[in-house]
Structures are given as C-alpha cells and as structure tokens.
Structure 1
C-alpha cells in the first residue's frame, strides 16, 4: 500500500525564532511544505528556504483569508493537507499515529481533529478547561475550506466526516517574550471585536458551504452563549469559572499569569474594544464601520467583503 502524501501549510510573519523548529519537526510527516509569508523583515524566509520549504508571499488581512488564498492559489496534489502555525509542533506519538492511520482510513473520513496542548513559558497549562480544545488541522484537499471569520476561524468540511487522533497532541509553545504575547493578543482582541460587530450588524453572514466538525460546533455554541452575555460581566464570570471552578489555580505561578492574561485581561480588552466601536457607530453609522477600522486600526477594506 502506498503511503498517502501530505502537504503542510504554514503562515508566517517574523518567525525566525520558531520556523526552524516548526519545519524540522513536521518534516518526518510531510512530502511538501508551503510557507505563506506576510513579507517578513527578519530571517524567516531565508531559514524556510534553507530547510527546503516552498515560500509564497502575500499581504495579510487575517488568518482565514490568508489560508483560503493559499488553498485557492497554490496547486496542491497531495492526499492530505495539514495546517500548522510557526510556534506549534506535533508530538512524536501524534506523528506516528497519523502515519499509521492515513493509509487505512475509510474514504468518508475526510478530516482529522487533534488536541491542543498549550505550553506557556514552558509550563503545561493542564487546568482551567483549556486542555479540552480539539482543532481540525488535517483534511483531504477537496473536502474542506476555511470559514471566513476575522478570528477563531475553523475548517468547514464540505463532505464526509471527521475523526479524532489521540496518540499525542498539537503543542502550542511560543518562545517569544511576554511583550510579544500581549501585543499579539491586543491584535487578536481587535479582530474579535471586528467579527463581533460585523456579525451583530449583519455585515458578515453565516456560511452554508460546508459544516464544522462536532468539536468545533460545540465550541462555537459555547462562544455564542458567551457572546450573548453583558459586556465585562461575562469576562469576570468566565475568569472565575476557569480559574476557580475548573481548577486553573492548580497550574501554579505561571498558570496564574496565563489564566489571568488569557482568561481575563484579553476578554476585558475585547469587550472594551467592542464597547468603543459601538459608541462610535452610535455617533456615526454602521455603514462607516470599515472607515472606523481603517482610521483607528489601519485595517483596509480587503479580505472579507462587507454587506452594505
């Protein structure tokens, strides 16, 4: 039996600290590696090419648009695609399981979910309910497309079904400092705000072409429940549940930093940006929301079409 071929798609921007680890650890699994770079100014592209990756450069709007651009633009003839971020890697047990399973999967299994393990400053974040996240990261090329959201995009399965892989985890292990982390999450909060406001006012509709996996549907349902709660109060309640009821305090000193920043500060910041945007829209108009984004955040009207 011929082993199925796999192509990795990796998005990058100034990731010289991570790109070597990412490429070297995914190499035993994939036949082809595609790096879609957003015009890095460090050695990311140089290192990627040194390690044999195929590099394409494209202006960045958000992850969903960038990934779909890659799927629409770059011919991929492999049997499977795996998406992985520069600061992520697969545990050896997961790689072994993928190699063993791909040749024997039935034809109706068109996507595979992996479990996310976060290492914050080297500390495994086991508690707080966070080590329950399943992500669809492998799929057959003709069976999936990216959901077009500004944040927390998921793969939409256009046919077949997904199965879970349990032999190891997808590890998120950033090597950058806390200043970079807060800057990144400040940007994430902006994108969460855009998605929230756009959907609140019908500027972006729900997509019908494909469906989320069961894991993603469950997580999206919880997010919708959270999204319907009052601003700020929901951040407080979420943090209290995560840190105390779900045992986040058991993650120790670094766990406290993680849960406070990721589970409280980030959500309060997101709500503050939503609050600010709502105030601006009330004084102006929702039709001018794209202008607000351009003036306040430097985000041009590209990537996802607004409904006018």
Structure 2
C-alpha cells in the first residue's frame, strides 16, 4: 500500500468542504478560482508536495478499484525513465456508466517536477517536460452527483470557457503557441479538435451527437445514455457554437475586439 498525502485546493467554497477534507486528514489550501489549469499549477507551486509521484483528481472524480490496485502494485516499480502514466477515464451520468463511448486515456499520474497543466481555459491536458509516458490501464471515474439543473448551469459556464478555447486555437487570442508535449492520445484529440473548429457551426454539434449516439451505440446506455449524449454531446456544444457565433458576429476575427468583448460581456479578462 502506497503512503499518500491528499492536498485539497479549494476556491473559497461556502459549504463544508474544509471540515470534510480536514476530517479525513487532507491538507487544505484555498486559492481564488480562474480556471482548472491555473488552479492545478498553483497547487503544484504552492503546496508542500514531497512525494515522488502526483495524482490529479478533480472534485467530481475518484479512482476506481482497479485504479487503486494498479497504483499500489505497479507505480513504484517503474523505471526512472518513466515520467508519467495514463489512466482510463470512465464517464458516469445519473448513476450509470456510459459504456459506449470511445476509450479515453489521460495523463493523471506524473513524477513531481516533470509536468504541469497546459495554460488553457478548457480541455487542458497535463504537459510532460521529458521522459516516457506509459499506460497503466487502471481507471478513474468522472461521476458528478448533483442534479440536472446544477449540471446544466455548470455547463452553461463551461460553454464560455470552451468558446474561448476554440477561438484561441483559431486566432491565438491568448498568445499560446500550443506546441506542447502531450501523450499520444491527447495529441491526436487536439488534431481532431482543430478539424472540428474548421467545420460549420451548429452542424458540427449535431453530427457529433449522431456519431456518439448512433454510430458508437450510445443508445444502448438507456435513458441516461440519451440524456448524456443529448446534453453533453449536442446541447452543450451547440451552446458553445452560439457563443462563438455571437462573438464573431460582433468582433469578426479581430483579436483585441474579441478579448474586449469577452471581458465586457462575460467578465473574463484574458
């Protein structure tokens, strides 16, 4: 069994996060929220991490049983040349695992000091500075326990950040080079996202829904599967397209105007 330290970085929530975290022996820190990338990199720079390996988990994620077993049995037997490892992402929606989705492997484990998060507003991946990246094949789950109203409100706020990310990939509004050292699957996903950006607005979200729900057999996951693919695969991405359309309609492709419009209308300073 690996001895682990748990660091919780909270963005000044008003619930019982602090009490719950501390009751389980977690180290508790607070930092003002900007986005996931900024928050995670702040944790790497400010928390007194003294372990060899770091595991990133968001608030609605947890390790599956086989993920715990893989880490306990294999992690510290890896050669020093290995800097990071991927885990398999499982999606759980309304208590049901979405089994008919493309398999996604994500770098979530890395040696401390060898990686950090990309500076992106959405779809950020862990960027490894050097060394090998391997697949451990253990799993972690994304399982949000809140209701549909909470979920849709969250994704409405996410849609602004996703629109910023798409506009940044198209117009470099953040000034990022996007020349990052990603694992093979993340790099492939990023190339597919660029193709998605070049596809027609609104049509692309509908085709993405059809791909997931029909051609990848998402309909086999029952009513929960329909709601998952409809909301996350079509509704959410149509909402993102609506915000991209709104911004482009008002600003064209002028970077300074886009930045100013986003700050004025969405309160986000880029």
The answer, yes or no, to whether TM exceeds 0.5 is: yes
Runs of 5+ in structure 1 lacking a partner? 1-27, 302-308
Total equivalences in the alignment? 269
For the residue of structure 2 that corresponds to 1:179, the secondary structure is helix
Which whole-Å CA distance do the structure 2 matches of 1:205 and 1:180 have between them? Answer: 32
| 2:227 equivalent to 1:267 | no
CA distance in 1, matches of 2:166, 2:192: 15
CA distance in 1, matches of 2:134, 2:78: 10
Structure 2 regions of 5+ residues with no counterpart? none
Q: Are 1:75 and 2:48 an aligned pair?
A: yes
Structure 1 match to 2:134: 163
Q: Could you give the per-residue CA deviations for residues 168-221 of structure 1, whole angstroms, max 9, x where no partner exists? A: 42011111100111011111111011112233222232244x500112112212
Distance, in Å, in 2 between the alignment partners of 1:88 and 1:197 is 28
Separation in 1, partners of 2:46, 2:60: 24
Contact 2:169–2:194, Cα closer than 8 Å, also in 1: no
C-alpha contact 2:84 2:132 (8 A) present in aligned 1: yes
User: How far does residue 30 in structure 1 lie from its aligned partner after superposition?
Assistant: 4.9
Deviation readout 1:114-140 (Å, 9 max, x if unpaired)? 11111111111011x34x111110000
Matched, 1:49 2:29: no
**Which residue matches 2:154?**
184
Q: What is the TM-score when the length of structure 1 is the normalising length?
A: 0.83
- The residue that corresponds to 1:291 in the other structure is 260
The 3-state SS of whatever aligns with 1:32 is coil
**1:60 Cα deviation (Å)?**
0.8
Alignment of 1:79-158 (within 5 A): 79-127=52-100, 129-130=101-102, 132-158=103-129
Q: CA deviation at 1:258?
A: 0.5
> 1-side partners of 2:255 and 2:244: how far apart?
13
Match of 2:170 in 1: 200
Structure 2 counterpart of 1:31: 4
Query: Alignment partner of 2:269: what SS?
Result: coil
Where does structure 1 differ by over 3 angstroms across 4 or more consecutive aligned residues?
A: none
State the TM-score, normalized to the length of structure 2: 0.94
Q: What is the CA RMSD across the aligned residues, in angstroms?
A: 1.6
When residues 101 and 250 of structure 1 are mapped into structure 2, their CA distance, relative to the original with a 3 A threshold, is same
SS at match of 1:176: coil
